[in-house]
Amino acid sequence: RKEGYDHYMLKEIHEQPHALERTLQGRLDAEAGTPTLDFPPGAFADAERVHLVGCGTSNYAAEYGATLLRRWGVEAQALLASEYTGAAPRVDGDTLVVAVTQSGETADTLSALRFAAERGARTLAVTNVVGSTAARECDDAMFIRAGPEIGVAASKTFSSQVASLVLLAATLVRDGEGAPGEEVRDTLRALADLPDQVATVLDGTTARSVAERYAGRESYFFIGRGLAYPVAMEGALKFKEISYEHAEGFPAGELKHGPLALVTEHTPVIAVFAGRHDEKTLNNVQEVQARGAPVIAVAGERADAVRRQADETLAVPDTHPNLAGLLANVQLQLVAYHVSKLLDRAIDKPRNLAKSVTVE
C-alpha cells in the first residue's frame, strides 16, 4: 500500500526517520557515545583487517563504512563483490569480511562471501532480510531493520545500512588496540539525532523546485570528497536508475583529470559537502562554473561560503561531518525522484532492473 504517496519510493524515502529509529533502537548509548550492539567486548579483537563487500548501492554504503573505519584507525577496504575474487585480496583467518546486502541474496555478494569463508575469514552479514542466504551463511548477522522496501531502487535501506555500519565501526574500534577517541563518541552522540534531522530535511526540502529547473539536461555530474564521495556516487546511481538520464559520480578532485572535458552549460553539477574538505570541493565548483555549468550544492545550514558560490543550495541540518553525507543523500534521493516524476518514468520498477540480482 502506498498510503497516499504516488510511488513506493517516495513513501520509503519518507519512512527513513522511522526506519533509522528502528536501526538504532537499543544499539547505542547516546549519552556516553558508545555502541551497544549485541557483540560482547572483544568480539572482534582478532580482526586485523576488514573487507566490506557489496554491489551497487550497497557497495557505496560499504565505501562509506570503510572510509570511516580507516579514519578511526582500522585497516579497512570496500571491495566490489563482483570483482572480489579477481582482485586477489589477502583474505585469511585474521580478516573480517562484512557482506553489505539489503536482500541478502545478491549472487555476486554470496560468491565473494563463500570465497572468503573458504580461506578462513570470519564473515558478518549486514542485511535487511532475516533468514536470507547471507544471514544464514555468515558467522554473524546484523539486521538493519529498515522494514520492507518495495521500490526497486534502494532508498531507506541505504540509510539504514550506513547507520548500521557506523555502529559496527565504533564496535570494531572498541575491540581494537587504541581506545575510541572523542571523534568516535561525538559521532555516536550525533547519530542519535539523525532520525529527527532526516525528518527536518523531508519537511523543508526544495528538491522539487530544483528538479523543475534542471530536468531534461544533457548529463548530470555528482561530486564529493571523503565521506561525501560515496554519497555522490550513490546520488548518481539513483539518478540514472530511475530517471534514465545520463549521470556520473566522481571524486571531486578527479574531475579535472578528464571528465571536465564533458562539462558545459548543459551539464548541471551536484556537489555534496560534508563539512570536511569543503574548500577543495569549492575549488572544483569554481572550475565547473567557469565552463558554464550550473552548480547545485548540498551542504550544511552554516556553510555560508558554499551557499555564496553555488547556483542553488539544498540545505541539511548541521551534524557531525561523519554523518552529514547521510542527510545530503536524502536530498539527492528527492532530486532523483522529482526529476524522474517530471519525466514520467516507471519510478518503482525501472526498466531492465530487478530488486535482487541472483545471477553473477
State yes or no: residue 98 binds ligand F6R (CB under 6 A). no
Beta-bridge partner residues of 296: 270, 312
**Euclidean distance between CA atoms 108 and 88, whole angstroms:** 15
Q: Which is nearer to ligand F6R, 103 or 267 (CB)?
A: 103
Looking at beta carbons, which residue is closest to ligand F6R? 56
Count of all residues that appear for the chain in the document: 360
Q: Which is nearer to ligand F6R, 49 or 240 (CB)?
A: 240
State yes or no: residue 274 binds ligand F6R (CB under 6 A). no
Judged by CB under 6 A, the residue of 43, 150, 262, 357 near ligand F6R is 357
Q: Which is nearer to ligand F6R, 37 or 357 (CB)?
A: 357
Q: Count the neighbouring beta carbons within 10 Å of the beta carbon of residue 88.
A: 7
Backbone angles phi, psi at 243, to 5 degrees: -95, -20
122-127: strand order across its sheet: 76-80, 49-54, 95-100, 122-127, 140-143
Q: Which three cell numbers stand for residue 24?
A: 538504532
Site for ligand F6R in 145-174 (CB under 6 A): 153-154
**Part in contact with ligand F6R (CB under 6 A); list of ranges 21-29, 53-61, 171-179, 289-297:** 53-61
Tell me whether strands 34-35 and 28-29 are parallel, antiparallel or unpaired: antiparallel
**Part in contact with ligand F6R (CB under 6 A); list of ranges 54-62, 85-93, 177-185, 281-289:** 54-62
**Euclidean distance between CA atoms 76 and 168, whole angstroms:** 12
Least separation in angstroms between CB 9 and ligand F6R: 10
Least separation in angstroms between CB 285 and ligand F6R: 27
**Euclidean distance between CA atoms 62 and 78, whole angstroms:** 6
Binding mask 57-76 for ligand F6R (x = CB under 6 A): xx------------------
Whether residue 108 contacts residue 86, with contact meaning beta carbons closer than 8 Å, is answered with: no
**Rg over CA atoms, the chain:** 19
Whether residue 23 contacts residue 164, with contact meaning beta carbons closer than 8 Å, is answered with: yes
State yes or no: residue 334 binds ligand F6R (CB under 6 A). no
Distance linking the first and last C-alpha atoms of the chain: 32
Site for ligand F6R in 176-215 (CB under 6 A): none
| Residue 355 annotated to the active site | yes
Q: Which is nearer to ligand F6R, 13 or 306 (CB)?
A: 13
State yes or no: residue 350 binds ligand F6R (CB under 6 A). no
Q: Which is nearer to ligand F6R, 153 or 295 (CB)?
A: 153
**Part in contact with ligand F6R (CB under 6 A); list of ranges 56-64, 221-229, 283-291, 340-348:** 56-64
Whether residue 130 contacts residue 143, with contact meaning beta carbons closer than 8 Å, is answered with: yes
Judged by CB under 6 A, the residue of 15, 241, 245, 348 near ligand F6R is 241
Backbone angles phi, psi at 62, to 5 degrees: -60, -40
Judged by CB under 6 A, the residue of 95, 109, 133, 313 near ligand F6R is 109
**Euclidean distance between CA atoms 39 and 46, whole angstroms:** 13
Q: Give me the active site residues, please.
A: 355
The residue ranges that bind ligand F6R (CB under 6 A) are 55-58, 101-103, 106, 109, 153-154, 237, 241, 356-357
